[in-house]
Amino acid sequence: MSTPVSSIRNLGPAVEAACHKAGIHSAEELRALGADETYTRLLRSGTRPHFIGYYVLVMGLQGRPWNDCKGKEKAELRARFDALKAKTLTPKVNATNELEAWLDKIGVIEKSAL
């Protein structure tokens, strides 16, 4: 039997719906993934990045109130959040250049047109 995502402290129906959209359907699955992988999946499924949402998730998985995050711990979580966001949302390549290179390879674009 699975437990709803919203059974985790600090996480309500909106987070549960976002998790379902990201393919995470239970509290057990979310706990197994951990905060960083869960948040990565949320971002990839269209959730807008928001630092408070990230640290609320981290605190909830630790069984702590969302507003318990302060000082050095909060600064360290901010660095993790920024790195996670940059890694997840930064395009790996310029899509236009990749498309043009592929079209050139199959002979659709003349070399002089590039």
Q: Rounded CA gap, 100 and 108, in Å? A: 9
Give residue 106's identity as a one-letter amino acid code. Answer: I
pLDDT digit string (tens) for 72-109? 999 999 999 999 999 998 765 555 667 776 677 677 76
The amino acid at 55: Y
| pTM (predicted TM-score) | 0.77
Q: Is 35 left (phi over 0), alpha (psi -120 to 50) or beta?
A: alpha
Q: What is the pLDDT of residue 96?
A: 62
Task: Give the per-residue pLDDT at 90.
Answer: 72
Instruction: For 7-21, give one letter per residue: b (16+ CB within 10 A) or e.
Output: ebebbeeebbebbee
Give the list of residues 6+ apart from residue 56 with CB closer than 8 angstroms, or none.
Answer: 10, 11, 66
- Could you report the per-residue pLDDT of 103-112, keeping only the tens digit for each? 776 777 655 5
Q: Which sequence spans correspond to the domains of the chain?
A: 5-113
- Separation between Cα atoms, residue 114 and residue 89, nearest integer Å: 28
Which fold does the domain 5-113 belong to in CATH? DNA polymerase; domain 1 (1.10.150)
Spatial neighbors of 27 by CB under 8 A, at least 6 apart, are: 2, 3, 4, 5, 7, 8
* pLDDT of amino acid 93: 52
Q: Residue 39: is its pLDDT beyond 70?
A: yes
**Which whole number is the average pLDDT over 63-68?**
95
